[in-house]
Amino acid sequence: MIAWLVMVKEIKQHFRDHRTLFFLLAFPIVLMLILGITLTNAFASEMKLDGIHVLVNDTSSGELSQAFAAFQEELGHTGIVFEQLKSGMNGREEIGSDHYTAYVEVSNTGMTQYSSSRNTLESNIVEGILSAFTDKYNAAAAVAQELGSAGVQSILVGGGGDYVKDLSVAADRTPGSMDYYALSMTVMVGLWGAMSAGGLIRSEQVRGTGVRLFAAPIRRSDIFIGKVFGNVVANLLCILALVVFSKLVFKAYWGSHLIAVIAVLICEIIMATSFGIAANTWIKGGGGRGLVMLIVQLSSFIGGAYFPVADSGIMGTVAWLSPLRWGNHALTSIIYNGNAAAAWPAIGLYMGAALLLLASTANFRRTKEGV
């Protein structure tokens, strides 16, 4: 009962502090909005072909001319623009001036492409599409020996929609920019619980109520448990508010396994609270709070709170030292792969670290006279 009353008191004090509410709610929401809008293109999962302009000089005739005209019309729906060479224009000079992505000469004897070295990617796309058309036309020419010209047109014109296909190697949903930053900011706020936890004991000492608590007929364990769970519940409520807000306002995707998501976040807050208490117990005079802020900000940076971090390489290895990375990786797998079991490794890491920190703190405080 005493622990429950202490927990309720901590929750009330937590939400009476308007600066804390701004720090835990308004600041992450602003970061979600700014980073989510600014870095939208960095999370684009598909490539648009608009902006590719091809200059064409078609002097062919007959079936090739008809087939290439149908080819241009079909690709016009993808955003690739074909323009005919006008009188007085020099195709190679236009490419040299970077007015077009590629220049194509089509004749009855073959097809020649001239590309700009300044737009290598776009030029390669055009080359691949033209190669697909050439292969298809050659196949149709072989069929024509058996079916005649009608068979050629049925293959070239009737099946012209498969020059460009978009197939995903990984069919699972991938996060957009707003999805990513809604997730990473939420996990980061859970880690911020260490900073508020650092003041749980110190606030009693600053207000002079620590001596009264110690003199009261209350077990230290009740005070300790009440304060820990009060901080955990207060931070959890802030995180749930962020989840709901990002889902309703920013349309962030949180998947269909919300229980697993919340379980990971709760364990992260418990670990962060344990770390905040431990740091401020070991280091006196405000040094503990400084250490907590340094570790939290460093963990947020290397763990991928502000930008995605690859799993490979040196940075990928270093990122796994960050508790934020544990949560990001687990939640991404839960939300976008539908793998609820991915929560267990993160829960194990968080709870294992929390138990070690709380045990060391309790052992350290047994030698002290006050709270």
Sequence spans of domains, the chain: 1-43+179-366, 52-147
Kindly give the interhelix angle for 27-38 and 177-191, rounded to the nearest 10 degrees.
150
Q: What is the pLDDT of residue 258?
A: 94
The label of the residue with tokens 């602003």 reads: 30
Q: What is the pLDDT of residue 245?
A: 95
Q: What is the pLDDT of residue 169?
A: 44
Rounded CA-CA distance 76/66 in Å is 16
Given a contact cutoff of 8 angstroms between Cβ atoms, the answer to whether 261 and 334 are in contact is: yes
User: Pick from 123, 5, 102, 121: which is nearest to 56 by CA?
Assistant: 102
Q: What is the pLDDT of residue 344?
A: 96
3-state secondary structure of 112: strand
pLDDT 10s per residue in the chain (371 long)? 788 888 888 888 888 877 777 888 889 999 999 998 888 766 655 555 567 888 898 888 877 888 888 888 887 777 788 888 888 888 888 887 888 888 888 888 888 888 876 777 778 888 888 888 888 777 777 766 665 555 555 555 544 445 555 544 444 567 888 999 999 999 999 999 898 887 666 666 666 666 666 666 777 778 778 888 898 999 999 999 999 999 999 999 999 999 999 999 999 999 999 999 888 888 876 678 888 889 999 999 999 899 888 777 788 889 999 999 999 999 999 999 889 999 999 999 999 999 999 888 878 877 764 44
User: Pick from 50, 49, 48, 55: which is nearest to 99 by CA?
Assistant: 55
User: Pick from 266, 264, 270, 272: which is nearest to 342 by CA?
Assistant: 264
The label of the residue with tokens 């072989």 reads: 142
114: enclosing H helix or E strand = strand 110-115
User: Using only C-alpha atoms, what is the Rg of the chain?
Assistant: 31
Given a contact cutoff of 8 angstroms between Cβ atoms, the answer to whether 282 and 364 are in contact is: yes
321: enclosing H helix or E strand = none
**What are the distances in angstroms from CA 171 to CA 45, 71, 166, 167, 168?**
11, 29, 12, 9, 6
Question: In 304-338, which residue ranges form alpha helices assigned H by DSSP?
Answer: 313-319, 323-337
The label of the residue with tokens 């069919």 reads: 171
Q: What is the pLDDT of residue 170?
A: 44
- Largest Cα–Cα distance of the chain, in whole Å? 104
Q: What is the pLDDT of residue 146?
A: 65
Q: What is the pLDDT of residue 110?
A: 81
Give the DSSP letter of residue 13.
Answer: H
111: enclosing H helix or E strand = strand 110-115
Sequence letter at residue 151: G
74: enclosing H helix or E strand = helix 62-75
Tokens, residue 102: 């590629």
Q: What is the pLDDT of residue 311?
A: 75
- Looking at 3.30.1360, 1.10.10, 3.40.50, 3.90.550, the CATH number of the domain 52-147 comes to 3.40.50
Rounded CA-CA distance 315/312 in Å is 7
